[in-house]
Structure 1
Amino acid sequence: MAEQATPGPRLGRAIGSEPRTVGGVVLLLPRGAEVSGRRPPPLASLSLGLLGRTLVHAGRMEGLTAHVVHYRYRGWNGAQAQLAQDAFRAADECVRRYGDVPICLVGAGMGGRAALHAGGHDAVEAVVALAPWLPEDDVAASPEPVKQLSGRHVLIVHGTNDQRTDPELSFRLAARAKKANRDVCRFEVHSDGHGLRQYRSEITALTTDFALGTMFGHPFSRPVQDALAAPPPLGLRMPLASGFSGAPRRATKVR
């Protein structure tokens, strides 16, 4: 009997109405688990779907579309790094469908780690990692890679009260990435936990500001400008202020 091929990752339906001409793509990478051979649960992507709707609405004049990536398995699974592989393959699929358009990877938790790893894909221009799950520092093991982020815009957001993923680990990764790439910034959400629920509207606005700025040249808000320009550690411990709403969007004519 022939061995059945393992199915690849699947792009969910385009969020909202897919534009006639796609000018950019956001790939949403849901949370996962450190080790699991199970399929992701159906509701795993719900919160990212809500974020995707906001992004698509804000970027509709530029032809922005967004897809949730449905992983093959829920787990990272050690050296297999399956979620990172799925994110990379999803970017390949976007290139096949839409051609040479910019891609922004937006991941939460283990999906944030996948976004950081897959940021080296040639079509990726921006990476947003929300409360990324990162392994504990281990001098005997290879550190998390950062060279693939060279030439990309990178935003990391982490709650200071995160009890599941140590925010100090994302700071250390950001500090290493910043040495080779000035376009790295990190925001801290004081008193918020792993789910980043207390300041969800501010985080949505920050992600939108960053994604549209990197993909379509919209002006960044002043806090994002300051975070990108500031030397470490200032630009990597930027507090996300309550009520943050991003930069006002310039009007774009439909052509």
Structure 2
Amino acid sequence: MTAEARLLPVRVPRAPVGVVVVLHGGGGRGEDTAVSPLQPSVLRMIPVAWRLARAGGGTLAVYRLLNSRRGWDRGLNPLGDVRWALDQIGDRHRDLPVGLVGHSLGGRAALLSSAEPAVRSVVALAPWVQPGDAATVAPHGCRIMVVHGTEDRVSDLRRTVRVIEALRRTTPVGLVLVTGGNHSMLRRRGRFEGLTADFVAATMLDRSPREQAVRDVLDGAARVDV
């Protein structure tokens, strides 16, 4: 168990052109509960991180962030851990653009951190958003894609739609709905991971998207169904 945030390297090439930080989810388990590297919400993001590393083709440094504590409440949330991670990235990879990929609570943290100066790309997977979140996000030059399963019973899809509608008044953001996808993203896993890797490669490496859904989002689509 860890009581402090940790930044775990997945793949760090010698001369990367960008950095991606992968943020896990995981609800609270009582007050001040530490994160276990073996909890399912943490383990679920390992294949996502490796998919991103492969998509980077030796040009993206990929790290996983382990939060200092589980859950999210008024006095304790992952945003401080994300800021700490961005500071660490700045020290290690000065002036490189950063992409954030987060799931559930990590998806919310990625969205709310999109205004950080180094952040250029955000993928929020099944984000556990709250109604007022759009008012706190003011990214500049950051591209955002939200991916949500239609069968998610943990993160409220209706709330996600409302937050995205509010965000689109000032921010380029698109929603990709994965038909039949659930919160863990194990059902239709390949779609979740493929969309994520393709969007990150397109926005961080200026590559042409392979996925039509990603191309549609980057062209300004508000919602795409896959």
Q: TM-score, with normalisation over the residues of structure 2? A: 0.90
Instruction: Kindly indicate whether the alpha-carbon contact (under 8 Å) linking 1:131 and 1:158 is maintained by their aligned counterparts in 2.
Output: yes
Which protein is bigger by CA-based radius of gyration?
1
1:165 & 1:81 partners in 2: Cα distance? 19
Instruction: Kindly indicate whether the alpha-carbon contact (under 8 Å) linking 1:171 and 1:236 is maintained by their aligned counterparts in 2.
Output: no
Letter in 1 for 2:77: Q
More displaced stretch, 151-160 vs 189-198: 189-198
Q: Deviations over 1:195-235 (max 9, x none)?
A: 121111111111111001111100123322223334xxxx3
Q: Does 1:110 align with 2:105?
A: yes
Instruction: Kindly indicate whether the alpha-carbon contact (under 8 Å) linking 1:115 and 1:127 is maintained by their aligned counterparts in 2.
Output: yes
Q: CA deviation at 1:81?
A: 5.1
Question: Which runs of no fewer than 5 residues in structure 2 stay unpaired?
Answer: none
Q: CA deviation at 1:191?
A: 1.8
- Name the counterpart of 2:160: 170
User: Which of 22, 46, 52 is equivalent to 2:43?
Assistant: 46
Letter in 2 for 1:159: G
Q: Does 1:149 align with 2:139?
A: yes
Q: CA RMSD in A?
A: 1.8
In the TM superposition, 1:225-240 aligns within 5 A as: 225-230=215-220, 235-240=221-226
Q: Does 1:24 align with 2:13?
A: no
Return the structure number with greater relative CO, CA threshold 8 A, min gap 6. 2
Question: Which runs of no fewer than 5 residues in structure 1 stay unpaired?
Answer: 1-6, 241-255
Q: CA deviation at 1:161?
A: 1.3
User: Which of 15, 19, 29 is equivalent to 2:10?
Assistant: 15
Q: Deviations over 1:79-127 (max 9, x none)?
A: x352012112111110111111111111001111111111111111011
- Identity over the aligned pairs, expressed in percent? 30
- Name the counterpart of 1:4: none
Which secondary structure state, in structure 2, belongs to the residue aligned with residue 42 of structure 1?
coil
Q: CA deviation at 1:32?
A: 2.5
2:136 & 2:219 partners in 1: Cα distance? 19
User: Which of 213, 218, 225 is equivalent to 2:207?
Assistant: 218
1:203 & 1:143 partners in 2: Cα distance? 23
Q: CA deviation at 1:175?
A: 1.2
Change (3 A) 1:21 1:15: same
- Name the counterpart of 2:88: 93
2:191 & 2:161 partners in 1: Cα distance? 20
1:26 & 1:175 partners in 2: Cα distance? 26
2:146 & 2:10 partners in 1: Cα distance? 23
Q: Does 1:121 align with 2:116?
A: yes
Which secondary structure state, in structure 2, belongs to the residue aligned with residue 193 of structure 1?
coil
Letter in 2 for 1:118: S
Which secondary structure state, in structure 2, belongs to the residue aligned with residue 148 of structure 1?
coil
Q: Deviations over 1:33-70 (max 9, x none)?
A: 25641111222321211111111122134x21111111
